[in-house]
Amino acid sequence: MTLPFFAARLMASSAVFVKVYFDEKLEALLDGVVSAFGFFGGVPRKCMFDNPSTAVRAILGNGQRLQTPEFKALQAHYGLEAVFCNPGAGNEKGGVESAVQWALRNLFSPVPRAGSLSELNATVECRCVEDAQRRQRQGTAVAELWERERGQLGTLPARPFPACRHRFVRVDKTLLVTYDRAVYSAPSAYAGKSLLLRAFWDRVELADGERTVAVHGRQRPGGYSLQLEHYLPVLAHKPRAVGHAAV
């Protein structure tokens, strides 16, 4: 598989964080930032970003950007100031561009093999830590510089930002909801009712108010995830349907 990856770099210490995703959707960008802050152990006061369409709806004059609501909520949650590069000016964030090249050479060449994306990302994160311990900057280990820099970062909030999109969905008579051209099942008690769908990069949650009633692995467009327990109450009253039920 050919997959994109997220890269972040602390500029004082040059510590690097990398995480692989299935796609470059908003959910992946949000999770990348949240995961990077957790890895680094704090929140920088200011972060420089490219101009991804998932975060920037329009480039305005005087360096201003029309940002997506979810990306603005992320900044508010962490008390973060986002600064965006000028279009086509990758040199303005040369530090992270060099981190991307380092990742291509050291993490993904030769092409890694893993049983799952979680397994791959666990290996990648360990390699990032090992690199910080081994690599030196101006005669000092990056890990030591990173420890000093961590003391200057903002404190992580008690709860990480929920890196997801929110949508209200209606459960149809076959106990299904559709999101991003993929189908997920809901408990039988919610047939014909509305639920809040939270779409993360790796999972989809269905919630009734504050209570989560179903969790599915995120499916690609055209995919589906059906859970047997959602259909058992219905099948108990229609035993002849068991042999024909999609689940």
**Is 160 within a domain?**
no
Cα 206 from Cα 213, distance rounded (Å): 6
Cα 172 from Cα 33, distance rounded (Å): 35
Q: Helix (H, G, I), strand (E, B), or coil: what is residue 132? A: helix
Domain range enclosing 81: 5-150
Q: Do 197 and 79 have their domain in common?
A: no
The whole-number pLDDT of residue 89 equals 63
The structural domain count of the chain equals: 2
Q: Do 89 and 118 have their domain in common?
A: yes
Q: Do 106 and 146 have their domain in common?
A: yes
Angle at 197 (CA atoms; ends 191, 202), nearest 5 degrees? 125
Q: Helix (H, G, I), strand (E, B), or coil: what is residue 207? A: strand
The rounded percent of the chain whose pLDDT value lies above 70 is 97
Give the E-state strand segments of the chain in sequence order: 5-9, 16-20, 46-49, 56-59, 65-67, 81-84, 136-137, 140-141, 165-170, 176-179, 182-185, 194-199, 203-208, 211-217, 224-225
Q: Do 96 and 48 have their domain in common?
A: yes
CB within 8 A of 15, min separation 6: which ones?
Answer: 9, 40, 128, 132, 142, 143, 145, 146, 149
Q: Do 187 and 72 have their domain in common?
A: no
Q: Do 74 and 146 have their domain in common?
A: yes
pLDDT tens per residue across span 90-104: 666 777 888 999 999
Confidence label for 205 from pLDDT (cuts 50, 70 and 90):
very high
Question: Exposure of 63 by Cβ count < 10 A (0-12 exposed, 13-18 middle, 19+ buried)?
Answer: exposed
The whole-number pLDDT of residue 60 equals 81
pLDDT tens per residue across span 150-195: 999 999 999 999 999 999 999 999 999 999 999 999 999 999 999 9
Residue with the larger pLDDT of the pair 124 and 247: 124
Q: Mean of the pLDDT values across residues 6-13?
A: 94
Q: Do 68 and 122 have their domain in common?
A: yes
pLDDT tens per residue across span 103-120: 999 999 999 999 999 999
Q: Do 97 and 174 have their domain in common?
A: no
